[in-house]
Chain A
């Protein structure tokens, strides 16, 4: 078990698992730390990073023009995307990925992309702006993690409720998705859906993906057309399972 275990309020089951985990690590052969290999690898990465940074600057310029797109979405739901060009680290590029109505309440899924702050001062300003935007404490990165990195947040507005985070990350560069690769996250649409009933699925796919199939546990499926979003090199899709039905899989099919 971790030597400086703080023993936060654990149930017996959790405490047992903690001990089992500690037991399992006894089998690890620690060996000598490969310091020189790590330093060599780090220096290679550093060199590569400069090369990538130069190439990325060109791509950002090419992709920064504003756009208005209309895309189709779920039955009974309308999707539109409004993008605007910004360079201020306190003003995100915001795109609506999908919206609809559920039990008489409107919902919207939005993506906000935040430019990389150049220093701690800019990062501090960005953190403030993120809080103001509605990104809650648990989803906020640390100040130190923001400098030189871009952040993206997908969040859900449901009725009058505050923004609820769905998937988010702070990265030096975006994950490159190709072919049929995808990354998804599911959340309940409403609190009434209950724990584990992640009816709303949001995901990122390669910009070349044209169609995502979401299957549900009642045997039905839904096809979502991925949409581009301002500031994002990947496309995004949204699936919503009917009430009482859970999503099962998501797959790029075209």
Chain B
């Protein structure tokens, strides 16, 4: 029994070491800050470790880990005293068609994108990061966010529309490495 537990711990450790860089990058996009990202990933992995006996033998421990991370991220933004259901900058943008043929200019520094991401509500930010950084399908994103595919579509479209509308981001000049 002790040996099995040691083997499980080792398996978790190798999972953690292998996924650490990717999880940290995703967390960085979610939180916008290095220390907050490390904290989020560490909290996530602690929870995954607790459930590892079950998770490790499951088909897709990575999907489980993502779900835990998104939940942990959502929880940090959940404790609100006032919920803004329709932020001022929502008007007009939500009806914008995502693809009108023009191109988003590339940010010449990372802070422009991070500032833009920080202006998105948490659920839109999660949808954008999971869809366009993690490259998950809508269904996988819905599973990670614990919501319907329709909600993912809506949040991702709103997020993209808002990012495009932020002058600091849209004004950046498209660089060569865009293909």
Chain B nearest CB from A132 CB (Å) reads 18
Report the count of interface residues on A (CB-CB < 8 A): 77
Chain B nearest CB from A214 CB (Å) reads 8
Report the count of interface residues on B (CB-CB < 8 A): 84
A189 to B9, CA, bound (A): 48
Chain B nearest CB from A11 CB (Å) reads 3
A104 at the interface (CB under 8 A from B): no
What chain A residues lie within 8 Å of B84 (beta carbons)?
Answer: 248-249
Query: Which listed residue (A2, A147, A195, A248) contacts B154, Cβ 8 A?
Result: A195
Contact across chains for A20 and B146 when beta carbons are under 8 A apart: no
5 contacts between A and B (CB under 8 A): A16-B105, A38-B46, A39-B12, A138-B149, A186-B86
Contact across chains for B148 and A165 when beta carbons are under 8 A apart: yes
B69 at the interface (CB under 8 A from A): no
A18 at the interface (CB under 8 A from B): yes
A110 at the interface (CB under 8 A from B): no
Q: A13-B103, A35-B13 are in contact. Are A139 and B46 (CB under 8 A)?
A: no
Besides the known contacts A6-B137, A214-B85, 20 further A-B residue pairs in the complex with CB atoms under 8 A apart: A1-B133, A2-B135, A16-B103, A16-B105, A18-B133, A19-B177, A23-B106, A24-B28, A24-B114, A27-B28, A28-B25, A33-B20, A35-B13, A41-B46, A42-B47, A181-B78, A183-B78, A195-B95, A196-B94, A198-B85
Q: Which residue of A lies closest to B156 (CB)?
A: A14
A138 to B79, CA, bound (A): 25
Q: A38-B45, A186-B85 are in contact. Are A21 and B113 (CB under 8 A)?
A: yes
Contact across chains for A24 and B37 when beta carbons are under 8 A apart: no
Contact across chains for A195 and B103 when beta carbons are under 8 A apart: no
B90 at the interface (CB under 8 A from A): yes
What chain B residues lie within 8 Å of A38 (beta carbons)?
Answer: 16, 42, 45-46, 49
B81 at the interface (CB under 8 A from A): yes
Q: Annotate A25-45 by CB proximity to B: 1 below 8 A, 0 otherwise.
A: 111111001110111011001
Contact across chains for A184 and B83 when beta carbons are under 8 A apart: yes
The A160-218 residues at the B interface (CB cut-off 8 A) are 165, 167-171, 175, 177, 179-184, 186, 195-196, 198, 201, 203, 214, 217
A8 to B156, CA, bound (A): 14
A2 to B67, CA, bound (A): 18
The B150-179 residues at the A interface (CB cut-off 8 A) are 150-152, 154, 158, 160, 163-164, 169, 174, 177-178
A2 to B133, CA, bound (A): 6
Contact across chains for B133 and A21 when beta carbons are under 8 A apart: yes
Q: What is the predominant secondary structure among interface residues of chain A facing chain B?
A: mixed
B4 at the interface (CB under 8 A from A): no
Contact across chains for B133 and A181 when beta carbons are under 8 A apart: no
Contact across chains for A39 and B49 when beta carbons are under 8 A apart: yes
Q: Annotate B97-133 by CB proximity to A: 1 below 8 A, 0 otherwise.
A: 0111111111100100110010000000000110111
Contact across chains for B86 and A217 when beta carbons are under 8 A apart: yes
Query: Which listed residue (A2, A168, A217) contacts B146, Cβ 8 A?
Result: A168
Chain B nearest CB from A107 CB (Å) reads 18
What chain B residues lie within 8 Å of A88 (beta carbons)?
Answer: none
